[in-house]
Structure 1
Amino acid sequence: MFSNVARKYQNWKRYRSVYNELSQLSSRQLSDIGINRSDIDPLARSMSR
């Protein structure tokens, strides 16, 4: 049980890290790497699994 909670917490931390990093980029920077602002949440979620 504890390992499940720890894993979920680590996944959440990874999600927040990716989300925050991408959110700080300008729309131009996001466009340069092929990401729309609306793609940030789904992308961060997929990277945190």
Structure 2
Amino acid sequence: MAAAHQISAVSVASPAGILDALMVKFTRYRMYRKTVSELSALSGHDLADLGLHRSEIQRVAYQAAYENN
């Protein structure tokens, strides 16, 4: 995820900058999908232990992938 932190330092006008931006988007999306998958595999009891309801999985995954970086 180091690339995600460097996106603001990369010039998107250059071909390398565009490639870096696409890699960051792809990496964040993969993190989102993995988080959704892992949380969805948990039982309702396990989610409750984490303080989550099944309806919150997508929000939590989005925050983990896009907002906390």
| Bin for the TM-score computed over the shorter chain | over 0.9
For residues 1-49 of structure 1, the aligned pairs below 5 Å read 1-49=18-66
- Percent of aligned pairs with the same amino acid: 31
Partner Cα separation in structure 1 for residue 65 and residue 49 of structure 2: 23
Question: Deviation string for 1:16-41 (max 9, x for gaps)?
Answer: 11110000001111001100001100
TM-score (norm 2): 0.69
Question: Following superposition, which runs of at least 4 residues in structure 1 exceed 2 angstroms of deviation?
Answer: none
Asked which structure has the greater CA Rg, the reply is 2
Task: Choose between structure 1 and 2 for higher RCO, CA contacts under 8 A separated by at least 6 residues.
Answer: 1
Unaligned runs of 5+ in 1: none
